[in-house]
Amino acid sequence: MLQELARKIHALGGYAGLSGLTRGFTLAAAIEILVQELREKPELICASVVGTLDQAIDFLGALFQRKSEEIDRDTGLSACVLVVDNERVQRNAVKQSLERVHLKAVSVDDALVGMRLANENDFEVVIADVEMIGMGGIDLCAKLRAMPNHARTPILLLTASANLQNRAQVELAGGNDLIAKPFHGMELAVKTLVFAMKGPVETAA
């Protein structure tokens, strides 16, 4: 099944490239890499990965269904992601994963520094660890939502415990998704890429 999915995604990516659909080509290439990695290591397949694949494939289809004037304005994606995590190894792993799908990442090891950067710059997506020394990712998320330039920025949170309580806290703070650690780098990259392409998210009234 994964082999057939990889074949179809590859064909879609080729069509996107020939048609000048830059974002479609970029997303298809990322999905194909994720599928190939799952073929090589099927033990990585879980509900989270399947959900990410489902979202990404749905959005890929939406990219092909855009109006002609939207396609004409498709000049590719120039996005920057803010990564906040005080664990150096994990922070570097997130950054390297994002670079595989051509997303620029600015990474910091302190939530207060992250707040300052977010206040001074526009980021297309923010990724933060829930369990950080000092200010954690959930508190950071709530503070970002209070900033006019990040009130609708997609925010992904990493956690060692993706239970219902944590998910509820993330949702209340304004987070858009929760990924359990240890995370699969390419899944995180694909999920982030989709959020970056979709743009600002809807917020609670």
For the segment 45-66, what is each residue's pLDDT rounded down to a tens digit?
998 899 999 999 999 998 888 7
Quick check: 150 and 123 in contact, CB under 8 A? yes
- Is it the case that residue 132 has pLDDT exceeding 60? yes
Angstrom distance (rounded) from CA 203 to CA 181: 26
Segment 73-105, tens digit of pLDDT:
556 678 899 999 999 999 999 999 999 999 999
Q: What is the pLDDT of residue 122?
A: 94
CA angle (202 as vertex; 160, 80 as ends), nearest 5: 65
Distance from C-alpha of 139 to C-alpha of 136, rounded to nearest angstrom: 6
The confidence score (pLDDT) of residue 205 equals 42
Q: CATH fold of 80-198, please?
A: Rossmann fold (3.40.50)
Most confidently predicted of 13-22, 127-136, 155-164: 127-136
Q: Are 73 and 63 in contact (CB under 8 A)?
A: no
Q: For residue 142, name the pLDDT band (cuts at 50, 70, 90).
A: very high
pTM, to two decimals:
0.91
Using the predicted structure, report yes or no on whether residue 147 has a pLDDT greater than 50.
Answer: yes
Mean pLDDT value across residues 179-187: 92
